[in-house]
């Protein structure tokens, strides 16, 4: 089910507030967010009518699945929509929760959860820069791009939403019925292994070479002293990038 709202503070907040009344795999979208947010409570710039702002409600995560796979479902669906329907083949997944084109951010995801009636539910937010012109992108404090900026074409948010939801259903089916293949595809979609990166965990900032992305969702990094560590989350920036 898709629910479209004209304006909301945050689609994630709306979904968590109304989770008991909403069905599993409901996608709530908004034409505008007045308090959109990303990770670490960063403001997500959400001008009206230009982009996709939405949240997927997951109420029934299969027992064999891990929480990070709920976000992977929406990330893979969004990437497939952009690559297949939007012909934006240069888009790629950046661990753990972004879609980039080159060094510029095209989309971001935010996973939140709550215990409702003794049951964990997940609200997976997604923001995609669809029709933001360069003048608007310049207002974002980090390198950003949009579908319009990359292709010269506009994409109406309602049309994008319909295409995205079909991909969500496809990848949810893969997650539930072909779990091993789903995880392999998610790992394969990231070009990070083998690249030099900097990771900021909020407590420390480290440089190293990405060895792998693990099935449990962690990033394995080789540090300059030769040791390796696994990271469950953090902001990753690439020292180099070639696809």
Instruction: Output the CA angle 191-149-86, nearest 5 degrees.
Output: 65
Boundary (domain end) residue, out of 171, 188, 205: 188
Pull the structure tokens for residue 87.
Answer: 């012909």
Q: How far apart are CA 213 and CA 199, in angstroms?
A: 14
- In a shared domain, residues 163 and 229: no
pLDDT in tens, the chain (243 residues): 999 999 999 999 999 999 999 999 999 999 988 866 655 456 666 778 889 999 999 998 888 888 899 999 999 999 999 998 889 999 999 998 899 999 899 999 999 999 988 889 999 999 999 999 999 898 888 899 999 999 999 999 999 999 999 999 999 999 999 999 999 999 999 999 999 999 998 889 999 999 999 999 999 999 999 999 999 989 898 876 555
In a domain? residue 243: no
Do residues 147 and 53 share a domain? yes
Is residue 155 domain-shared with residue 182, that is, in the same domain? yes
Which residue do the tokens 């029709």 mark?
131
In terms of domains, do 184 and 70 share one?
yes
Reported residue count of the chain is: 243
Q: What is the span of the domain harbouring residue 85?
A: 2-188
Dihedrals phi, psi of 147, to nearest 5 degrees: -60, -45
Does 48 lie in the same domain as 27?
A: yes
Q: What is the DSSP letter of 144?
A: B
Query: Is 179 found in the same domain as 209?
Result: no
pTM of the model: 0.91
């Amino acid at each position: 089910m898709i629910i479209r709202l004209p304006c909301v503070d945050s689609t994630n907040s709306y979904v968590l507030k109304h989770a008991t009344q909403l069905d599993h795999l409901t996608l709530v979208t908004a034409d505008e967010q007045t308090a959109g947010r990303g990770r670490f409570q960063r403001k997500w710039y959400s001008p009206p009518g230009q982009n996709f702002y939405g949240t997927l409600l997951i109420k029934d995560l299969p027992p064999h699945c891990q929480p990070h796979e709920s976000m992977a479902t929406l990330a893979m669906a969004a990437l497939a929509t952009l690559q297949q329907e939007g012909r934006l083949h240069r888009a790629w997944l950046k661990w753990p929760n972004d879609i980039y084109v080159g060094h510029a951010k095209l989309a971001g995801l935010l996973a939140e959860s709550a215990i409702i009636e003794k049951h964990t539910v997940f609200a997976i937010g997604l923001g995609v820069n669809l029709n933001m012109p360069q003048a608007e992108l310049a207002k974002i404090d980090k390198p950003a791009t949009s579908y319009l900026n990359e292709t010269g074409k506009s994409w109406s948010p309602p049309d994008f939403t319909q295409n995205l939801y079909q991909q969500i259903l496809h990848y949810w089916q893969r997650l539930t019925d072909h779990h091993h293949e789903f995880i392999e595809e998610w790992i394969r979609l990231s070009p990070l292994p083998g690249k030099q990166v900097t990771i900021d965990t909020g407590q420390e900032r480290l440089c190293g070479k990405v060895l792998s992305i693990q099935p449990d969702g962690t990033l394995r990094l080789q540090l300059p002293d030769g040791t390796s560590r696994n990271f469950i989350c953090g902001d990753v920036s690439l020292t180099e990038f070639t696809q």
